[in-house]
Amino acid sequence: MKKILTGLQPTGVITLGNYIGAIKQMVKYQDQYDSYLFVADLHAITIPQDKEQLSKNTRDLLALYLACGVDPKKNKIYIQSENEYHTNISWLLECNTYYGELSRMTQFKDKSRKNANFTTGLLTYPVLMAADILAYDVDYVPVGIDQKQHVELARDIAERFNKKYGETFKLPEALISSEGTKIMDLVTPDKKMSKSSESQKGVIRLLDDEKTIRKKIMGATTDSETVIKYDPENKPGISNLINIYISFTGKTIKEVEEEFAQKTYGEFKTKVADVVIEEISQIQKRYNEIINNNELDKILDEGREFTRKIAKKKYEDMKYKMGFRR
Ligand code: AMP
Ligand code: TRP
């Protein structure tokens, strides 16, 4: 059976973008593949985090995974920092990764530009991500388009390691969903909807209440025309709403354009808000049941034990091949 793996950072309540780009995909594939889903808390600290918030966000994210339909019977669910082999593997990989490769990563360039006091962790972030993936011989990594470059780097690092030390890693592939790959901020639709946006107006979070969600969607930036047509270049706002709508309804762009051919932007937005709220309110109901339940801890203990065994084996294999022997 093919393996699939992804992780999300606990850096705030996840957005509609995370849900569409990453979690919905995991739910879609869990019947088909051996699935691994974790909380990338070690990646979160590449930028400063409040420690209380970090642990709260971690638990919230795990509860949201389950509330979104991730089935603990079909997925290994775990916390990255509870498995020390990820960082051990990462170090061995770092010593097989070039500084130039890391400094050329788009995300690194963006984030380091925003804060001159960035840490080394921000630079080596993609290597830890490669370790997360390569430890388990994963076939597919469902991510949003912004993470594609990191998955490709993981593949390059794996290939290099295999050549140098002998066949060790499977080469992973990014799995980018065709619908709504990149959900944009509702207010500034040329920017991706992000957990860390300064303004909240254009960002829908999975724990926002109904009224807030509706208000944000109704207030989404559009354009001065009146046609509902998919054209990301000239109509980024409307195209983004179409992307959201199709990922919640499973309709095609053409079907949506036909459905709203004679409708106003207001009518379209109302419909988008309806479908989003319907699905998110179900998620919130389940989230409230799960968050205070110790079932979650049992799932995490199992996930930790299972994944530690696999990652340990990979780490020892790497060490041996690299010459760490008595
Ligand atoms: P992050 O918020 O950076 O931890 O992202 C977690 C996952 O969600 C990654 O796979 C991202 O590519 C995906 N993701 C984040 N924001 C968006 C977005 N606006 N649209 C689609 N996917 C996203
Ligand atoms: N860097 C990813 C993000 O911010 C999260 C992540 C960490 C990840 N390790 C991973 C995603 C391994 C996929 C596979 O979205």
Q: Give pLDDT, residue 144.
A: 81
Q: Give pLDDT, residue 67.
A: 97
Domains and CATH numbers, the chain: 3-176+294-322 (3.40.50.620), 210-288 (1.10.240.10)
261: tokens are 């051919």
Rounded Cα gap, residues 283 and 152, in angstroms:
32
Under the banding of pLDDT at 50, 70 and 90, the label for residue 72 is very high
Q: Give pLDDT, residue 99.
A: 98
The percent of residues in the chain predicted with pLDDT above 70, rounded, is 99
Nearest Cα neighbor of 18 from 247, 174, 212, 173 is 247
What would the pLDDT profile of 99-112 be if each residue is shown by its tens digit? 999 999 999 999 99
**What is the distance in A from the centroid of ligand 2 to the CA of 90?**
14
CB atoms within 10 A of CB 4: 24
Q: Give pLDDT, residue 179.
A: 52
Nearest Cα neighbor of 155 from 178, 136, 181, 174 is 174
Q: Give pLDDT, residue 307.
A: 98
7 CB within 6 A, ligand 2: yes
Residue 180: pLDDT above 60? no
Rounded Cα gap, residues 256 and 11, in angstroms:
33
Best probe residue, ligand 2, of 11, 23, 35, 43 (max atoms within 8 Å of C-beta): 43
Average pLDDT, the chain: 95
Q: Give pLDDT, residue 57.
A: 95
Q: Give pLDDT, residue 187.
A: 97
Q: Give pLDDT, residue 69.
A: 96
Model pTM score: 0.90
**What is the distance in A from the centroid of ligand 2 to the CA of 30?**
18
Which bound ligand lies closest to the C-alpha atom of 129? 2
**What is the distance in A from the centroid of ligand 2 to the CA of 24?**
15
Rounded Cα gap, residues 256 and 228, in angstroms:
8
Mean pLDDT over 33-50 rounds to: 96
